[in-house]
Structure formats: structure tokens, C-alpha cells
Amino acid sequence: MEEAAQIIIGGLLQGSVFAIVALGFSLVFRVTGSINLSQGAFCILAALAAVTLEQTLGWPVALAAAGAIAITAAAGFAVGAATFVPALARLPMSSMLILTAGLLTTLEGLSLVIWGSQPYALPPFSGEAPVTLLGVRLPTQGFWIAGAAVLIIAGVWYLLMRTAVGEALRACAENPTAARLMGIDVSRMTLLSFTLAALIAGIGGIVVAPIISFQFDTGRFFTISGFSAVAIGGLGSMVGAVAGGVMLGVAEQLAAGYISSLFANGIALGLLILTLLVRPSGLFAARRTRREDVRDEHRVYHAIVRLEGRGALVFGAIAVAVLLALPWFVPDAMMSSLIITGILFIGVLGLDILMGYTGQVSLGQAGFMAIGGYTAAILATNFGWSPLLGTLAGILLSLVCAVALSLVTMRLRGHYLALATLAFGLLVDSLTVGLTDVTGGPSGLVGVPSFAIGPIEFDTPARMYYLVAALMLALVLVLLGGVRASFGRALQAVRTDQTAASALGVNVPRHKMAALAISAALASLSGSLYAFYFHFLSPEMVGTSRSLEMIAMLVLGGEGTLVGSLIGVALLTLLPTIFQPLAIYKTFAEGAFLVLAVRYLPGGIFGTLAHRLSTLRAASPPPAGAPASRGMAP
């Protein structure tokens, strides 16, 4: 009984923190229609800043906390003003989601550079001694957490409902165009909501810091929990954010207390998926989320990259020649990076079909890598299956999961799809960590054999290289065949205009499912090869950071071009190896590249280059086929 009370109180405290983060989410979503995935990073930024102020500069805890919150709010203001606000006016919502994922990574990378990767702790504000109340021991920090939560909830309510600024914020949420006509500065309100959300997150991070251990990337845990809380409660609903946060906290603590802490995440995510399935708009859905339709996909990138006829043949021939010759020219130390580039490229190819061609954002692609990697590795290592059969089994399992996932998401649009895939990735992640007996748990699965097809073993870097290169070529060729024919046109039609697509008889759900299945199969293959190449697989190799990294690679290289993403994969894989001392900047650079690419290179590096080339070519000879904007030809 006492234990149960202890657990529930722990859950309420954790839930309060989730509720705080969720409130920030809801605030930004209400005002902008966008989900801000960087939210959690501000929690940890505040906590880490407080550590520096308290321990390095010797400030008293209270002062350090206040200073850290101020720093976080200032950081929120700067990040919002430099990236989020200007981007919001130009980008479709799917790109905003990716942009904020990039911000999350950037802030984590920055924390890594400043504070390193070691864990930190902050002393409780009111001493270590717990208070005993009715036989239940309460950490004094609990009062700080609960107090902060109540204060923030009351503060946000008062601001929104009782002040002129709040009225303006709500007007932006209802209808930004009308708000603008009424003389409300929508950009300023957007910036205000973003800064407020960072401030709220900072307070949440500070009050919870003394009861957890945290490091540079703990922020994503807050992002994910806050995001899940918001989704369970209902996007845009303030009551829902609080209720969802508390429910999630209690559920996680109960799971941790009575089952295993390793499954705590899994239970929460199961709850999330269940909510999405039964009541996709959340338990306390806001009246409506019209904003999603107001600013939508008409802002997708319109430029066209096509290599036709001879150009494509020449380009292809050069690419094949370079691919075959590369091992002779690179030092042996680089071979490994090249092979990893190829393996990841296979996964990113699938993501391109899903995101670039069909317009479906997946934040959980590494979940399929994990399924493929672990299935193949476990079957080959512990059950003596041949690696090829294991890989195929992994692909099959991934396809089953993809179909199941697409049945869940079929009715969902916009943010909910990204959310469901994120939950899926995290669920797989927590299973790989939790099922220690099968997967080896956090320390990973060791002794995985080399890949083999019959008697041919791919046990040297050179062999593996040519295997991966051959697969890459074959897959690019196959997918090119598909996207250049009616199948690809249907996918693109679904991406840009589902209504017009269905009016032409395109079965929209079926094409979404096909795209997800293709991406799942390729991610699975990539995960299997990854495990066989390293002879090892651990959860963080195929975790959510990997999902975000794959998105960064795709967006940086160029969406919707198939081959373009190779540039992104190569850059983000090879740069850290070439410049070893800079490896600590990898996370930061990944995030920053993603933000910059989403914001300034809508076609990615490949798209931008190809566009430049084609305009150059069109400018030199007389423009035979170029559009003229005068009257009709006779």
C-alpha cells in the first residue's frame, strides 16, 4: 500500500514535469499550428546551465536556477527569431516538423560541445532530507515540482484568458490571416509563444533536474514524453496537455514499479498508440485544428530535377565507374566509412520514397532498421540461420509491422502520422533495450557472423563494399523504374494533392501503404547489413537519433531525387571520419545542416546543383522546349 502510494506520488511528480513540457507544446501548436520538437532540449539546456552557474561559478542554487531559466528563455528567443519564426511563413508543416527536429539535434549538439557527454546532477533546492507525510516519504524537491506545475498552469491560463496579449495569441491560433487584418503582429506573437514555451520548458527542466541524472541528449526524452502527453491529451488542448502529462507519468511509474523500468517507455508508447487508434484526436481534443489546413502543402518544393536520356546514361556510367574504382583510391581506414555510407544510403533510399515522393514524414525509420538488424542477427547468431534467410525474415517482419502501422495511421493526417511513427520507433527502441535475454539489452548483441550468400562469405571490407555497392545500384535502378512510371506519378500525386489524386482514381491509402512498405523493407535490409558488418548491434545504433540522422541526410542531399540523398549520407558519415578532432561537433553539425537545408536549400544539395545546371543549360542554346508566357502557338 505504502509502496503503491510512493509509486503514484512519483508518477504524479513525473507527470507534472511532462505536463509542463506538454503545455509548452500546446502553446506553440495553438498559436502556430506547428509542433516544436526542440521543446525538450530547452529543459536540459536550463539544467546544464544551472550546473555551470552553481558548480563552476559557485552561485547559490536558487540564483543559479533563476539565471539558468533566464538564459534558456533568451536562447529560446534567439532560436525562435533566427529560425522558427521566419521559416513558419514559408514552409509547409511537414518541413516545420523536420526543422524543429533539426533544432533539437542542434541544441543537443551544442550541449555536447559545451558540457561533454558525462551525466550531471543538481542538488535539491531545499536540502536532501525527505519529508514524511502520513507514512509516505516525499522528497522536498517534489514540492518544487508540483508548485512549479501549478504556477505555470495558472500563469498560462491567466495569460491566455485574461490579458490582451493572450487574446492576440488566441486570435493567431484561430485564424492568422484575420488576426493580421486586425492589426496583430503574427510574427511577434509566434516568437512570443516560442519564447514562452522555452521559458516554461526551462522551468520544468530546472525543477526536475535535482531528482534525475541528465546529460546533453536527455532533452529528447522530455520532447518525446511531452509530445506523447500532448497526443494523448489532444493537440492544442491545454487541459489535455496537463491531463495527458499526468496520466503518462503515473503509467510510466506504475510500469517501472511493477514490471520493469526498462519497459516504462514501452508502456507509455503503447498507451500513445492505443490513443491514436481509438481516439486519434486525443482524449481532450481542442475543438478543431483548422490551422493544419490553412497553411499547408501548397508550399512544397516545386522545382523539378530530371536527368533524361543521354544525360542520365552518362551520369549513371560515371557513377558506376566511380563506385567500382573507389576502393583502389581510398585508404583502407576509409573503407569502413564508405561501407557504412552505402548501408545507410539503402535505408535513406526507402525514406526518400516515403518522404520525398509520397510526402509522409516518418520519425521512426530506424525502428525498421532495428527490426531487420535484430531479427537477422539473432536468427543468424543464436539459431544458426543463414544470414541471407535471417535478412529476409527481418524484411518480412518489418513489412508486417509496416502494414500494421499503416492501418493505424490510415485515418491520421499531418502531424499524427509523424507522431505514430515516432512512437513506433521508440517502442521498438524500448523493446530492444528491455528484452535483454533476446537482444542483449543496452550492451548489445555480440558475435554476429559476417553476411553470406550460400558459400560466399562477405568477411573482408572489399567484399562487403562490393556487395553494398551492387545492392545500391540494383535498388536505385529498381526504384528509378518505379518512380519514373505510373507508380511514381501516383505517389507524387498523393504527396501534393490527395483530392485531385483520388479524383483521377488513385487509391490514396494503398499508395501510402506501399510507400511505407518499401521504406520499411529497405530500412530493414539496411539494419541487417549494419549488424552483419559490425558483427554487433546495440539499441543506440538503430535508435531515434538514427531516425533523425536519416532525415537530415535525406533533406540535406535532396528529397525526391533518389540519388541525391547519397550526398547527404556521405557528408554526414565521412566528414566526422575525415576530421576526427571535429567528431564532437558531429551532432551539432547534423542538426545545423538539417535546419539550414530545410530553410535555405529546399531541393537539398543535389536538387540545387541540378537546378543550377539545368538553368545554365537552358540559358546557353535557344530555349527550344522552355515555357514562353505569351499567347498560344498557332
Partner 1 sequence: MSVPQNGAAALEAVRLTKSFGGLRAASDVSFVVPHGSLTALIGPNGAGKTTIFNLVTNFFTPDSGDVRFYGTPLAGRSPGEIAALGLVRTFQAARIFPGMTALENVLAGAHLHVRAQPWKQMLWLPGARREERSLARRAEALLDLAGIGRFRDAAATELPMGAQKLLEVIRALMAQPRLVLLDEPAAGLNDNETAELAALLRAVRDSGITVMVVEHNMSLVMGVADQVIVLDAGSVVASGTPMEIQRNQRVIEAYVGQEAAA
- Which chain residues interact with partner 1 by CB under 8 A? 298, 300-304, 306, 477-479, 481-482, 484-487, 489-490, 492-493, 495-497, 499-508, 514, 560, 625-629, 631-633
Minimum separation from the CB atom of position 630 to partner 1 (A): 8
User: Cell 507544446 belongs to which residue?
Assistant: 25
Locate all alpha helices (DSSP H) within 33-163, ordered by sequence. 39-51, 61-79, 85-88, 93-115, 140-162
Whether 122 contacts 50, CB under 8 Å: yes
Nearer Cβ to partner 1 (296/457): 296
Minimum separation from the CB atom of position 616 to partner 1 (A): 16
Nearer Cβ to partner 1 (118/629): 629
Q: From CA 536, how far away is CA 550, in angstroms rounded?
A: 20
Minimum separation from the CB atom of position 353 to partner 1 (A): 11
Minimum separation from the CB atom of position 515 to partner 1 (A): 11
Minimum separation from the CB atom of position 232 to partner 1 (A): 31
3-class SS of residue 431: helix
Minimum separation from the CB atom of position 593 to partner 1 (A): 23
Give the H or E element holding residue 457. strand 456-458
The string of DSSP letters for 564-578 reads THHHHHHHHHHHHHH
Whether 38 contacts 226, CB under 8 Å: no
Nearer Cβ to partner 1 (94/375): 94
Minimum separation from the CB atom of position 305 to partner 1 (A): 9
Nearer Cβ to partner 1 (384/505): 505
Q: From CA 462, how far away is CA 452, in angstroms rounded?
A: 14
Minimum separation from the CB atom of position 504 to partner 1 (A): 5
3-class SS of residue 287: coil
H helix count then E strand count, the chain: 27, 6
Q: From CA 22, how far away is CA 197, in angstroms rounded?
A: 9
Nearer Cβ to partner 1 (255/501): 501
Whether 425 contacts 224, CB under 8 Å: no
User: Cell 533533406 belongs to which residue?
Assistant: 555
Nearer Cβ to partner 1 (170/484): 484
Output b/e per residue, 226-239; b: 16+ Cβ within 10 A.
Answer: bbbbbbbbbbbbbe
Minimum separation from the CB atom of position 301 to partner 1 (A): 7
Nearer Cβ to partner 1 (163/615): 615
The string of DSSP letters for 497-564 reads -HHHHHHTT--HHHHHHHHHHHHHHHHHHHHHHHHHHHTEE-GGGGSHHHHHHHHHHHHHH-TT-STT
What does the block give as the cell for 486? 505510373
Q: Hey, what's the torsion of the CAs at 618, 621, 622, 627, to 10 degrees? A: -10
Nearer Cβ to partner 1 (181/632): 632
Q: Hey, what's the torsion of the CAs at 345, 220, 215, 210, to 10 degrees? A: -170
Minimum separation from the CB atom of position 461 to partner 1 (A): 30
Whether 535 contacts 450, CB under 8 Å: yes
How is the chain split among helix, strand and coil, in percent rounded to 5?
Answer: 75, 5, 20
What does the block give as the cell for 305? 530535377
- For residue 126, what is the DSSP state? T
Nearer Cβ to partner 1 (457/497): 497
Q: From CA 444, how far away is CA 442, in angstroms rounded?
A: 5
Nearer Cβ to partner 1 (331/627): 627
Minimum separation from the CB atom of position 276 to partner 1 (A): 23
Nearer Cβ to partner 1 (67/560): 560
Locate all alpha helices (DSSP H) within 163-237, ordered by sequence. 164-174, 176-181, 186-208, 219-233
Q: From CA 436, how far away is CA 443, in angstroms rounded?
A: 9
Nearer Cβ to partner 1 (8/410): 410
Minimum separation from the CB atom of position 298 to partner 1 (A): 8
Minimum separation from the CB atom of position 471 to partner 1 (A): 15
What does the block give as the cell for 527? 539494419
Minimum separation from the CB atom of position 454 to partner 1 (A): 23
Whether 546 contacts 369, CB under 8 Å: yes
Nearer Cβ to partner 1 (306/411): 306
Nearer Cβ to partner 1 (168/490): 490
